Amino acid sequence: MRIVQAFTFEAAHRLPNVPASHRCSRMHGHSYRVELALEGKVDPGTGFVVDFFDVEAAFGPVLARLDHHTLNEVEGLSNPTAELIAIWIWDQVKPGLPQLASVKVFETPFCWAEHDGT
Ligand SMILES: Nc1nc2c(c(=O)[nH]1)N=C([C@H](O)[C@H](O)COP(=O)(O)OP(=O)(O)OP(=O)(O)O)CN2
Ligand SMILES: [Zn+2]
């Protein structure tokens, strides 16, 4: 069984490795959406794969490091592309939430990166 919990955060960033002519080389902001997918068996007692409250508790401190921050200033996110934010979130969350199966980071409703640890 796979369950998914979505979160949002607001942040600014610039992409330092694109040409100066690329509009994302300039500082700008996004309303990001993060989807955490967790996989496991449904516990017959609780009926949960993982309690959504436990997902919130595990991700909350990570979210706080991103929300209303300049992502380039977050340690490990000097080049904050959607792909590298997804990998960064995976690395932060997976140790405390072993059922984590994928992290999706949406920069817009139409553009996202998904990381499954591979
Ligand atoms: N593979 C990737 N490509 C791009 C990334 C990325 O993270 N991975 N990021 C960007 C920029 O962050 C850019 O800001 C993307 O958002 P936006 O400019 O809003 O893109 P839109 O096409 O939706 O903008 P409109 O103004 O709506 O046309 C670029 N590429
Ligand atoms: Zn951007």
Say which CATH architecture domain 2-115 belongs to: 2-Layer Sandwich (3.30)
Q: How many residues does the chain have?
A: 118
Query: Is the distance from the beta carbon of residue 84 to the nearest atom of ligand 1 less than 6 Å?
Result: no
Domain boundaries, the chain: 2-115
pTM: 0.96
CA of 113 to the centre of ligand 2 (A): 13
- ipTM for the predicted complex comes to 0.90
CA of 108 to the centre of ligand 1 (A): 8
Residues 40-99 pLDDT 10s: 999 999 999 999 999 999 999 999 999 999 999 999 999 999 999 999 999 999 999 999
**Secondary structure of 18-38 in HEC code, one letter for each residue:** CCCCCHHHCCEEEEEEEEEEE
Q: Where are the beta strands (DSSP E) in 1-118?
A: 2-13, 28-39, 69-70, 100-108, 111-115
Just list the catalytic residues: 24, 68, 107
